[in-house]
Amino acid sequence: VKIVGSNFKMIITLFDTYKDFLPFLGLATIFLAGLVFFIKRKSTDATAVTEAVQPKELVASSEKVVSKTLDFKERLKLGLAKSRLGVWGKVKALVTGAAIDQETKEQLEAILFQADIPTTMVEKILHDVGRRGENTSLIDDIKLIMREVFEKSSLSQGQNEQHLEKSWNTELRETTKMSTQVIMIVGVNGVGKTTTVGKMAAALSRSGMKVVVAAADTFRAAAKEQLMVWCERAGADLVTGHENNNDPAAVCYQALTKAIELKADYCLLDTAGRLHNNDQLMEELKKIKRVISKLMPGAPHEVLLVLDAMTGQNALRQAAQFQQALGGLTGVVLTKCDGSAKAGCALAIVEQLKVPIRFIGVGETLEDLNIFKAEEFVDALFED
Ligand code: GDP
């Protein structure tokens, strides 16, 4: 009892002496807990990046093993599940077996607006649906209207598919004897530019093409490292900046010089998405275009804008900025459709920008990027 009593007294004395520090102690504990949480999150992000860069070796979970065996059509369906179960599922449920009366149209309008579909498009759908008569189901009507939107984008989508199939097909490419095609990839930070370049380099190399890649996002060290892994695995040549010369336009110049020397089929330029401010970024991209076109008139043959489907309306604002600053965007790569319930923003993109969607990304592995095909995309949004 004596011992317990004296210990208790000691605790009371200690408490009395240090009670003024208790608020600081509380704050310090909260700060430390926050720090531990932050470090844990960072390490999870790093794992995600590594998995993206080394898709095959690191595929561990049974879910990913299953998805590796799927062809792209199935991947697309899987990737678009959120969009299909959300807005487009509601559209299907509403119009299946329904008469296209005023009430149905009002409900359809409300659903379409949730999907970030622009007003002009919604009006078009509401105006045209049901016009083909009783022999066509309303859902087929809507699918057809959506396909027409893609096909009307500046280059006909059918032409796009043929052109790109040609590029991805070794035999056809050999017979057409095309010179090195320079593809410039632009977009804001984090949308998936470097991953897209890596996936393209890997897919093109795998189909027998010689590919040279420029790591011109010299602002972000991780981009260079990501590309090193992709290119090494793909057998593509990577050109990076030197310690004493990190100018992105110089990196692109060197890469194209090498591509010409090697008679490469493709020269892919990965560019920065973030600089100190937006004007600087646009100036840098314009400089790259100028330097490249001096070295090879007509290049870059494609300027592809990468947009993250998850950003919805924001993607459109970004697109308008790039279009205005750079002009001549030849197409869009729509990434992260798997994480978004708003893959329907693809419609708004082609409608408002009048540029075709060239590629679509539905995941982080190499097999998750492919040529965008309007019919396949629309079917995947509606099919069970
Ligand atoms: P950058 O800053 O534009 O070069 O973006 P990154 O290429 O570094 O990509 C940022 C993150 O997005 C990485 O973790 C990629 O793995 C991820 N990512 C890219 N494309 C896709 C996609 O289609 N789906 C998903 N889920 N993630 C993607």
pLDDT in tens, 77-126: 998 888 888 888 898 889 887 777 888 889 999 998 887 787 888 888 89
Q: What is the mean pLDDT of residues 262-277?
A: 88
Q: Is the CB of 79 under 6 A from ligand 1?
A: no
pLDDT over 90 at 195, yes or no:
yes
CA of 189, closest atom in ligand 1: 2
Which of 150, 115, 91, 194 shows the shortest CA–CA distance to 349?
150
Question: Which residue has its alpha carbon closest to ligand 1 atom 14?
Answer: 49
Q: Which atom of ligand 1 is nearest to the CA of 222?
A: 8
Using the predicted structure, report yes or no on whether residue 209 has a pLDDT greater than 90: no
Q: Is the CB of 221 under 6 A from ligand 1?
A: no
- Residue 166's pLDDT is 59
Instruction: Give the model's pLDDT for residue 256.
Output: 97
Do residues 195 and 308 touch, judged by C-beta distance below 8 A? no
pLDDT reading at 168 higher than 60: no
Q: Residue 259: pLDDT above 50?
A: yes
Decide: 76 in ligand 1 pocket, CB within 6 A.
no
Q: Give percent of the chain above pLDDT 90.
A: 28
Does 356 sit behind a cis peptide bond, omega within 30 degrees of 0 on the bond before it?
no
131 or 263, higher pLDDT:
263
For the residues 7-13, what does the mean pLDDT come to?
Answer: 71
Query: Ligand 1: distance of its center to the CA of 53 in Å?
Result: 10
Distance 49 CA to ligand 1 centre (A): 8
Is 322 in contact with 307 (CB distance < 8 Å)? no
Strand bridging mode 181-186 / 302-308 = parallel
- For residue 226, the ligand 1 atom closest to its alpha carbon is 8
Count of beta carbons in the 10 Å neighbourhood of residue 229:
15
Task: Indicate the range of 112-116, 151-155, 349-353 predicted with least confidence.
Answer: 151-155
Nearest Cα neighbor of 335 from 312, 363, 356 is 363
Contact 63, 364 (CB under 8 A): no
The pLDDT score that the predictor gives to residue 63 is 40
The better pLDDT of the pair 277, 81 is held by 81
Q: What is the pLDDT of residue 211?
A: 95
Task: Say if ligand 1 is within 6 A of residue 335 CB.
Answer: yes
**308 CB less than 6 Å from ligand 1?**
no
Long-range contacts, stretch 170-174, CB < 8 angstroms, 24+ apart? 170/207, 170/208, 170/209, 173/209, 173/265
Cα 173 to Cα 164: distance, rounded to the nearest angstrom: 10
Q: How confident is the model at residue 2 (pLDDT cuts 50, 70, 90)?
A: low
pLDDT, mean over the chain = 80
pLDDT at residue 307 is higher than 60: yes
Q: In this structure, are residues 308 and 252 in contact, taking their beta carbons and an 8 Å threshold?
A: no
Ligand 1 centroid–CA 343 distance in Å is 16
Q: Does the beta carbon of 190 sit less than 6 angstroms from any atom of ligand 1? A: yes
Pick the more confident residue, 328 or 260: 260
- Residue 258 near residue 239, CB atoms below 8 Å: yes
The CB-side HSE value for 222 (13 A sphere, CA atoms) comes to: 13
**Ligand 1 contact via 364 beta carbon (within 6 Å):** yes
pLDDT attached to residue 88: 87
- Token pair, residue 260, equals 């010409």
Running DSSP on this structure, what letter comes out for residue 285? Answer: H
Residue 195 Cβ inside 6 Å of ligand 1? The answer reads yes
Mean pLDDT check: name the lowest of 192-196, 203-207, 261-265.
203-207
Atom from ligand 1 closest to the CA of residue 368: 23
Residue, of 339 and 260, whose pLDDT is higher: 260
Query: Distance between CA 153 and CA 168 in Å, rounded?
Result: 22
Mean pLDDT of 338-366: 85
Across residues 65-86, what is the average pLDDT? 80
Mean pLDDT of 53-69: 39
Q: Is the CB of 193 under 6 A from ligand 1?
A: yes
Mutate to test the pocket of ligand 1, among 364, 367, 370, 377 (most ligand atoms within 8 A of CB): 364
The closest-lying atom of ligand 1 relative to the alpha carbon of residue 198 is 7
Residue nearest ligand 1's atom 20 by CA: 192
Residue 55 CA to ligand 1 center (angstroms) comes to 13
| Predicted local distance difference test score (pLDDT) of residue 306 | 95
Q: Label residue 304 by pLDDT band (50, 70, 90).
A: very high
List phi, psi (to 5°) of 383: -70, 150
What pLDDT does 177 receive? 60
Q: How far is the CA of 355 from the centre of ligand 1 (A)?
A: 22
Task: Tell me the C-alpha distance between 174 and 312, whole Å.
Answer: 39
Whether residue 55 has its Cβ less than 6 Å from ligand 1: no
CA of 346 relative to ligand 1 center, distance in Å: 18
